[in-house]
Structure 1
Amino acid sequence: MNKREESWRLLEELSTRSDLPWICIGDFNEIMHEREKEGGNIRPEWQMKNFREAVNQCNLRDIGYIGPNFTWCRRLGARGWIKERLDRALASTNWSVMFPNVGLHHVAASTSDHCMLVLKAHRDRQRRNRRKKLFRFESMWLRDEGFKEIVTEAWDRALNMRGQHPFSQCLEECRQSLTMWNRNTFGHVGKKIAKLQEKLQGLEGRKSSINVMEEIQETKIKLNRMLLVEEDMWQQRSRNSWLNSGDRNTSFFHTKASNKHQRNTISRIKDSNNVWQEDEEIMGRIFVEYFT
């Protein structure tokens, strides 16, 4: 037990040394939840809780797995077998964003009581001829001063068309106007933030003067406004609306949004013969046959 806690403290120490993307794979000799164990004595809750807290302290998350539910097993004589998920892959948020198509596979091994852990990059399953991207309203637009004017002009323009379905025309005109405005004017939030940070860094290095200090203050205001916009964006994508607006944690929202994206990705499916299929065309036929 002491060795486990010693390794967790080492992990926490390593997490403070760099902000680079990182992933930890191997035998952690501990489970996070009781469902990760089958047979044998009941694992103390405090022991699993300490492991979970160590992982959270390192800002890591379990990337999941493909294959058997347990990675280690051993016979307990006449009492049967004990199975546990002692091996796993823990990754930082920026690592998961950098490698969204990588999955962990549990591969059975004949020479060890542990499964092999294999990181495998799944090929991008997005079709070449993707359907047109759906329009979705972005709550971050509300923070832009030009948003209200865009909607008002689009709405009035549609009303002047005097069509048979004015409400539908107004919605369609707003959709088109906001799409063009978002692409050409509002722009990419992350790039704007990076540009403002770079500008602020340059201003801070210049010799102080009234004009420079005023420009620094103005740049800080713009940067803080864009950081709020970014927070709104990731909060909306994460679908976590229960946090107060003052609880700024863009990294948390980013993690939730990334998790949701990975959950929405189907990397394989089991056919009628209980065989896993990963080929895109075969998966498509299975879906069609099932719903037919």
Structure 2
Amino acid sequence: MWLSDSRCGEIVEVVWNSCATWDTVGSIISREDRCGKYLEWWNKNVFGNVKRELEKKKKALLKAEREALHNGLNFQVRELQLEINILLDREARMWNQGACILWLSNGDNNTIYFHSKATHRFRKNSIIGLFDASNRWVDQSKTIATVLEDFYKQLFSTSCPSSMASV
């Protein structure tokens, strides 16, 4: 959500480039710590709470709509509607990111159960072998396919059709 705001990238760049040394791992870690602290401050004081800002803007919109009815000027109403749309977009992204985080942390809690059921069904539905027309056990995939094909050809064909007119 922060990446949609250009100020976030500016803060990261300024904080990251503020240290003069690049020679140690410690300097990278300290840069990362400072960057995190500045982003927390920025989130709290500049970016703001989306829900709180949305409520403020909606109240301001109601007030601006009442004023627009009296004086006929609605440019402030349009500005507030645009700001509300941006905040609603941020809120939707926030919920989407929260859902992704929950799914990544919890995953599908029933994975083992469903995997075992699918494996069991696969084993149950597998054809290991068949007896052919001469009652021989066939267990190779090509010969199983031939046995099945011959069986259904024989089942759906007839050698001596009678009363074709009724058919």
Kindly state the Cα deviation for residue 145 of structure 1 after the two structures are TM-superposed.
3.2
| Distance in 1 (alpha carbons) for counterparts of 2:68 and 2:16 | 49
| Distance in 2 (alpha carbons) for counterparts of 1:192 and 1:169 | 32
Q: Is 2:87 aligned against 1:216? A: no
| Distance in 2 (alpha carbons) for counterparts of 1:191 and 1:161 | 40
Kindly state the Cα deviation for residue 141 of structure 1 after the two structures are TM-superposed.
1.0
The 5 Å alignment of 1:1-292 reads 140-158=1-19, 160-162=20-22, 164-165=24-25, 166-208=27-69, 209=71, 212-239=73-100
Corresponding letter in the other structure for 2:24: Q
Corresponding letter in the other structure for 1:187: G
Corresponding letter in the other structure for 2:66: G
* Residues 68, 74 of structure 2: 8 Å contact kept: no
Over residues 210-255 of structure 1, what are the superposed CA-to-partner deviations in whole Å (9 max), with x where a residue is unaligned?
Answer: 7x41111111111111111111111111118xxxxxxxxxxxxxxx
Give the gaps of 5 or more residues in structure 2: 110-167
Give the gaps of 5 or more residues in structure 1: 1-139, 241-255, 264-292
* Residues 163, 169 of structure 1: 8 Å contact kept: no
SS of the counterpart of 1:146? helix
TM-score by length of 2: 0.53
TM-score by length of 1: 0.32
| Distance in 2 (alpha carbons) for counterparts of 1:199 and 1:163 | 52
Identity across the alignment (%) = 25
Q: Which runs of 4+ in 1 moved over 6 A?
A: none
Structure with the higher fraction of residues in strand conformation: 1
Structure with the higher fraction of residues in helix conformation: 2
SS of the counterpart of 1:183? helix
Over residues 105-149 of structure 1, what are the superposed CA-to-partner deviations in whole Å (9 max), with x where a residue is unaligned?
Answer: xxxxxxxxxxxxxxxxxxxxxxxxxxxxxxxxxxx1122232121
Give RMSD over aligned pairs: 2.5
* Residues 22, 28 of structure 2: 8 Å contact kept: no
| Distance in 2 (alpha carbons) for counterparts of 1:144 and 1:187 | 12
| Distance in 2 (alpha carbons) for counterparts of 1:193 and 1:170 | 33
Q: Which structure has the larger Rg?
A: 2
| Distance in 1 (alpha carbons) for counterparts of 2:67 and 2:87 | 23
| Distance in 1 (alpha carbons) for counterparts of 2:45 and 2:21 | 25
* Residues 141, 147 of structure 1: 8 Å contact kept: yes
Distance 1:230 1:200, change over 3 A: same
Over residues 132-185 of structure 1, what are the superposed CA-to-partner deviations in whole Å (9 max), with x where a residue is unaligned?
Answer: xxxxxxxx1122232121111111113x25562243233222111101111221
Alignment length (residue pairs): 103
Distance 1:156 1:163, change over 3 A: same
Distance 1:207 1:224, change over 3 A: closer
